[in-house]
Amino acid sequence: MNQKQTHDQAQEERNGSSSNQTSPSGDKDRSVAEWTTLGISIAILVFILGLTTYLYVRGGEKPAAILVEPQMQELRQDNGGYYLPVIVRNEGDPTVEEVNIEAELDTGAGEPETAQFTVNFLAGGEQVEGTFVFQHDPAEGDLTTRVMSFQEP
């Protein structure tokens, strides 16, 4: 009797406490634990599917437009150079590659100074930070920044 009881208990444990053994469906021995994890799994799937579908439907094919914003307040001087951080942002939707950014600094004395860098990948809406290094103080001259070129993959 004792043995049978422990056997039944073990059986019940395996099946989970709320399983309905007389249910004719194939899920009769699915436990609460299994239902819970299945529920969480379905929620994750539905979330990702829904998000992807939403982003797809929202779509938008705004062509790539690159914005360059010098961060003058973060300008610093080091090792005889002026370090000017800039934020490069893709305001369009498609990803672009090999974005060439150039800055020209005209201090009025001699030839204007130029500096440039390349951003490898810039997804739609993404922003990255780069730094221009000048010999002269950008705060004292006429600074222009521009995007020279990019590729569309």
Partner 1 sequence: MGAWAQERDDFIRAFSGAYIFGIPLLFTMEMWWIGQYADLWKLLVFLGLAFAANLGLTYAAGFKRRSTFGTTVNQAVDAVAVGIVAATIMLLLLNQIRLTEPLDSIVGKIVVQAVPLSIGASVANQIFGKRGEKSRQGESHGEPMGPWHSFFSDVGATIIGGIFIGFSIAPTDEVPLIASALDYHHLVAVIGFSLLVSYMIVFASGFDQASPQGLFQRPFTETMLAYLVSLLVSFLALYLFDQIEMGDPVLSMLEKTLVLGVPATVGGAAGRLVI
Distance between CA atoms of residues 130 and 68, nearest Å: 10
* Phi-psi category of residue 60: left, alpha or beta, with phi > 0 → left and psi -120 to 50 → alpha: left
Q: Which residues contact 150 (CB under 8 A, 6 or more apart)?
A: 64, 66, 96, 97, 98, 99, 100, 122
Give the one residue of 74, 118, 121, 146 binding partner 1; rule: CB under 8 A: 121
Give the one residue of 24, 56, 108, 111 binding partner 1; rule: CB under 8 A: 56
Site string for partner 1, 12-51 (x = CB under 8 A): -xxxxx-------xxx-xxxxxx-xxx-xxx-xx--xx-x
Q: How far is the CB of 83 from partner 1 (least distance, A)?
A: 19
Which residues here bind partner 1, judged by CB under 8 A? 13-17, 25-27, 29-34, 36-38, 40-42, 44-45, 48-49, 51-53, 55-56, 59, 94-95, 121, 123-127, 153
